[in-house]
Structures are given as structure tokens and as C-alpha cells.
Amino acid sequence: MEGRLLLLLSVLVRETAGWINSAPPAGIHANQAAAAAEVFRVNILLTSLPLPALNVAAHPSPVDTPATIRRATVSDAQRLAELCTDAFYGSHSFADGPVIFAQRAQIYQRVEAQIRRRIAIEKGRECRLLVAATASGELCGCCDIAVHLFDRRETRFELMVDQMPNDHQRYAWRPYVASLAVREADRRKGIARLLMKEAERTARRWGYRELMLEVAYCNEQALAFYRRLGYQIRGSDVSGTGATIVERRPFHWNVLPVEKFLMRKRFLL
């Protein structure tokens, strides 16, 4: 019996590697997608992350515990990996069995490694990993903003393309926000709104007049939240890198692709 359990555990852990390498996330400005291919091999810094990435109230109350929005540092990597893993995949208990523990451990290790490499490439580039920290220094939220190649005709981002094609009428560099997550204990306090406002200020400082994002079509909470902030649906996309949701099975997580919406907010002059 013990031998069969260990065999099952080994098989499912190997399968997990496929589940969490399904889509290349946020790329970078020109000449940075090659680095992005190495940095973002797991669905952790992208709006196509699982549905629990955003959980906000219809009318969030003021932040009870003051939160400061700042750039992430390497010293944040472990805590940020914990926050993202819990927010995007969920939690579990001993009753769920050993397989889900092994799956989460592998996800966490990969997420932490990607975060460390992500932070290391930010210097001098139009990309920021933002975190929200409480007065006591605890991380309670995060989001990612970077500039990517946008295909106007197809109304979608080419996340892994690092050179501007010759067709300048069709393509343009545009800022893209992803991976908005708030720690469960700190939700409904306005922290998600603070993170988005800082992302918008960052895009403005880079000289852009709009900010775009992608969200799973079935994530009604997130859609309502972004609409309240002034974002509008510009299109949908069922090809390329798509949004995902987490289907919780009795003893493991199953990550499934779903259709996504592209949303955009234009800034007032």
C-alpha cells in the first residue's frame, strides 16, 4: 500500500510540472522577451493566473491597516511566493492528503524562483513588480506591470515577441498589468485599488496614456472591480496565452484554460 501511494505521488508531482508551465506570462519591452522566456515559465505573473487571484468587495471599505505600495525587492521573494501561491491556487489541509501538499510545494518553489529572476531584470526596463505592505511590514498584496507588444488588428498582446515588426500601423508597445493578488486576511480593505492606482501612475510616468489587462471571462468579481476603476472590455481572445482557473479535485488542483477578456482604461490628459 505504501509503495503504491509513493508511486502515485511521484506520477502526480511530475504531472504538476505540466500544469504550471502552461503559459508564458508578462513579457517586457523591446529586447527583453528573451529574458522573459526564462523568467516567466510559470503562470504566476500574469492575469491568466487562476481565478482566486482577485477577491474584492463590491464596495470596499477603507483600508483598516495602512498599506504602502512599493517596488518588490529580492528580500520579499519568499513571502511574495507564499502570498501568490495561496491567492492563485488556494489553501489546503492535512485531510486533503499528501499529493496536494507535494503539488503546492513544487508550485511554491517554482514561483519563488521566477519571482527572484523577475526582480533581477527590472533595472533600466519598463517593468515593475509592486507589493503592498502593512505598517508592520507584512506583504498583503501584489501586482505586476510591464510593457508588451500589442497587436491592434487581433486585439491581443504578443507576450513573447521582443522586436517591433515592420508594420507600425498594426503593432505598438503598450503597458499591461497582471497578477493582482491580495492576501485573504486583507481583502475588502481597498488594497487592490491602491495597487491598481500605483500601476496606473507607473504607466503614466513611462509616458503612456492607457493601461490594459486580461481577465478570465467567468471571473465576474474581477470584471466588476475593473469596471468600477474605469476599465472597459475591448475584446476577447481564445488563442495564445489564455486565462486559467483552478478546479479543486479531492486530492489535487487542476488548472484549466478559459477564455479571457482584454480590458483597457484610457487616462485623462
Could you tell me how many residues make up the chain?
Answer: 269
Q: What is the pLDDT of residue 66?
A: 64
In SS3 terms, 135-154 reads as: CCCCEEEEEEEEEEEEECCC
The count of other CB atoms within 10 Å of the CB of residue 262 is 21
Beta bridge partners of 243: 258
| Integer CA distances (angstroms), 51 to 27, 88, 120, 218, in order | 21, 7, 27, 8
Residue-range domain boundaries for the chain? 2-266
d(CA 110, CA 84): 11
Q: What is the pLDDT of residue 8?
A: 35
Q: What is the pLDDT of residue 238?
A: 52
The one-letter amino acid at 155: T
Q: Is 127 helix (H, G, I), strand (E, B) or coil?
A: strand
Q: What is the pLDDT of residue 264?
A: 97
Beta bridge partners of 265: 211
How would CATH label the architecture of 2-266? Answer: 3-Layer(aba) Sandwich (3.40)
What's the pTM? 0.77
> For residue 228, which of 53, 59, 55 has the smallest C-alpha distance?
59
Helices 98-120 and 2-19: crossing angle in degrees, nearest 10, is: 30
Q: What is the pLDDT of residue 249?
A: 79
Q: Which residues of the chain have pLDDT under 50?
A: 1-63
Q: What is the pLDDT of residue 15?
A: 39
